[in-house]
Structure 1
């Protein structure tokens, strides 16, 4: 096995706009030919779905089978396979008798975990892995690495937009994204901004509070009651009239919801499925109509879509199970940063297809449409069509009223309506839910950049100085009262932590810094100035 020196830099180094992991190999490193052959095989396999022109070389030369380069290429592909985002190239350069690779990553902990896992895999397989062993390794690694990365789809897409527009960012505890510095800094938690009211976010977390507050304000909502027993469920179902909906009070992304429950027998079945997980449930009158999601920002429209439950169309040849498998091959469903997920074979699907008198192994006749879920959430496999141009002005005003009532600047509003192009008060439109942390849903950066730039503050001027003085204090990086940052670092801290900021206008190296250290610092500290700086 190769001898590797590993270093995690949580700041910024060599022009990367994210943390980096540094690997050092001896230039005299020689591996047995069979070990090199295995690295070549793994490199061609694991990089097949990733770009291979990922290196930027400086004063480094090597052949096509250079073991350190193969190893780092494999490691880079494995971290990307696990969901990491590399937003700049891997730098490779020489330092004396070592070859250095600077691998950008969103999580240095994940890269370390992947390094250990890869080393163990090579040792356990004795550098002679089978296809089955590699497949098992890849699946296990992807599962274990997810805990190191930001959750949800919003944060990753905001990261992409920030990188594209050179906006400095820091991922903080996987849940928060900090953009900019000092008075120019903004903090996001998914789509919740630091300018949002805690009252609005708290109200929206409770479906009961949302329903009651909107009802008090004269806004249209479905009849609703909180229940804990099947006796209560039967009582309110009789009072509201079938069909009804069962849902958890404070869950999101459609989890635990059973819609369009048509009779008491089905109500009992659904209640038994969900009551053990959620001791307190809501029962609502089921409203006939399409499900619309309207995302608002500052009373302005971000996007509007009509959501539909997932469906398949028979071809007279394939079974329902095979048609679902084909549906799940949609690239958007497989994109880990998209809100649109695969259709899972769960109890709601079982219930829906049973009501349509088919089973998973039935061959569907040509053109027969089968609906696969009772709800249309993208996270449950639903689909959507953009309808921004179809919203009636009265419905637009309704959404603005909801935003003001809920004290929310950013929100997702779920409307149930026969037709959103008609005024809400003319066709029985109701407000189903309000989400204070809407998943913006689209792949790509346009909608995320449009959202982000609405909350960005002007960038501040930053000066960085490196000295041999070790008594430096931490700079107020995110103090919104500070309009100009002056950062002083010791040489030791600079080499161990990198630059604490992604950009700076002035960079000074004190006269007391040795010439050799000065050359390393000049290579290490590279400013990536944001747009507008």
Structure 2
């Protein structure tokens, strides 16, 4: 049975988790596996987080919406890469759609309050913050002359010239993108004014064409650094990818703004840190050399 578990985990890692680290023990990974576990740990240790609930029955999610209002986010209780996540949900029609689609990925789902703000992934390892990136949903910036379709082509050319593929994905002109644009008064033939950012999709993830920006660690507020390192200690982890939204930005203390820690990733996708669309690429190899020296308990078992 143990050999079978190792073989299965090896297949999962190769197939679905290329670019993810494996520096945490089985016990640590189990403690981080679901969104509910993370939220409970945040609550116990006074870490700012969103109020939320776990549901199988959709009407439990509807009751949560009636009690707490919109905007909301619905996502699978177990998962990653923002698969099956829907946000910001602003009405009951969108909520019902998200409830049904999230269950394609996992039978139990999470509903949480959603904060409109700046989305970050903070990589913490060996007791300290080693990298901070800001994540963007797919977008183009108008120049007053080009259509959105032309701007998409131009941006994809830039990404190709920068060597971002295949870690970062190209923008696309799918029916989902056309529908999203339509809801905001645009088509692919629209010409946005100079300097105006036009979002192409709601998900802040790489697969639909999202990108990242490297944030210099010396610009991050000291309170925020301490908070992230505290989270690493709470889970007794060697490395975590911590997802956080801050209303004003990570350069301001979380104490002076609305702040929500979303989840922790015990096998964070670190490959994306090497492919920023904005900011400078960081050399994190020294940190991983340190982690490679660790003796990880049951690292090859799911």
Could you tell me which residue of structure 1 aligns to residue 124 of structure 2? 296
TM-score after normalising by structure 2: 0.79
Please show how residues 226-237 of structure 1 align to structure 2 within 5 Å. Answer: 226-237=54-65
Could you tell me which residue of structure 1 aligns to residue 93 of structure 2? 265
Could you tell me which residue of structure 2 aligns to residue 414 of structure 1? 243
Please show how residues 145-184 of structure 1 align to structure 2 within 5 Å. Answer: 152=17, 154=19
Contact 1:299 1:400 in 2 (8 A): yes
Contact 2:121 2:134 in 1 (8 A): yes
| CA spacing shift, 1:272–1:364, aligned 2, 3 Å | farther
> Number of matched residues?
272
| CA spacing shift, 1:151–1:356, aligned 2, 3 Å | same
2:192 to 357, 362, 365: 365
Contact 1:394 1:423 in 2 (8 A): yes
Query: 1:312 Cα deviation (Å)?
Result: 0.9
SS in 2 for 1:442: helix
Could you tell me which residue of structure 2 aligns to residue 80 of structure 1? none
Query: 1:328 Cα deviation (Å)?
Result: 2.9
SS in 2 for 1:212: helix
TM-score after normalising by structure 1: 0.47
Could you tell me which residue of structure 2 aligns to residue 500 of structure 1? none
Could you tell me which residue of structure 2 aligns to residue 402 of structure 1? 231
* 1:447 has 2:277 as partner: no
Could you tell me which residue of structure 2 aligns to residue 90 of structure 1? none
Query: 1:449 Cα deviation (Å)?
Result: 1.9
* 1:203 has 2:31 as partner: yes
Could you tell me which residue of structure 1 aligns to residue 254 of structure 2? 424
| CA spacing shift, 1:150–1:208, aligned 2, 3 Å | closer
Query: 1:319 Cα deviation (Å)?
Result: 3.9
Query: 1:306 Cα deviation (Å)?
Result: 1.7
| CA spacing shift, 1:211–1:345, aligned 2, 3 Å | farther
Query: 1:308 Cα deviation (Å)?
Result: 1.7
Could you tell me which residue of structure 2 aligns to residue 98 of structure 1? none
Could you tell me which residue of structure 1 aligns to residue 297 of structure 2? none
Contact 2:125 2:238 in 1 (8 A): yes
Could you tell me which residue of structure 2 aligns to residue 172 of structure 1? none
1:354 to 155, 171, 182: 182
Q: Which runs of 5+ in 1 are unaligned?
A: 1-146, 155-189, 459-533
2:170 to 325, 342, 349: 342
SS in 1 for 2:63: helix
Contact 1:261 1:267 in 2 (8 A): yes
RCO (CA 8 Å, sep 6+): is it higher in 1 or 2?
2
Could you tell me which residue of structure 2 aligns to residue 385 of structure 1? 213
* Structure with greater Cα Rg: 1
Could you tell me which residue of structure 1 aligns to residue 300 of structure 2? none
Q: Deviations over 1:67-88 (max 9, x none)?
A: xxxxxxxxxxxxxxxxxxxxxx
Counterpart CA distance in 2 for 1:278 and 1:457 is 35
| CA spacing shift, 1:348–1:454, aligned 2, 3 Å | farther
Query: 1:378 Cα deviation (Å)?
Result: 3.1
1:242 to 48, 53, 70: 70
2:140 to 299, 312, 316: 312
SS in 2 for 1:192: coil
RMSD across aligned C-alpha pairs, in angstroms? 2.8
Q: Deviations over 1:218-245 (max 9, x none)?
A: 1111011112343222211111210101
Query: 1:320 Cα deviation (Å)?
Result: 2.9
Query: 1:268 Cα deviation (Å)?
Result: 2.3
Please show how residues 15-30 of structure 1 align to structure 2 within 5 Å. Answer: none
Contact 1:208 1:249 in 2 (8 A): yes
Please show how residues 182-197 of structure 1 align to structure 2 within 5 Å. Answer: 190-193=20-23, 196-197=24-25
| CA spacing shift, 1:435–1:333, aligned 2, 3 Å | farther
Contact 2:49 2:261 in 1 (8 A): yes
Query: 1:364 Cα deviation (Å)?
Result: 2.2
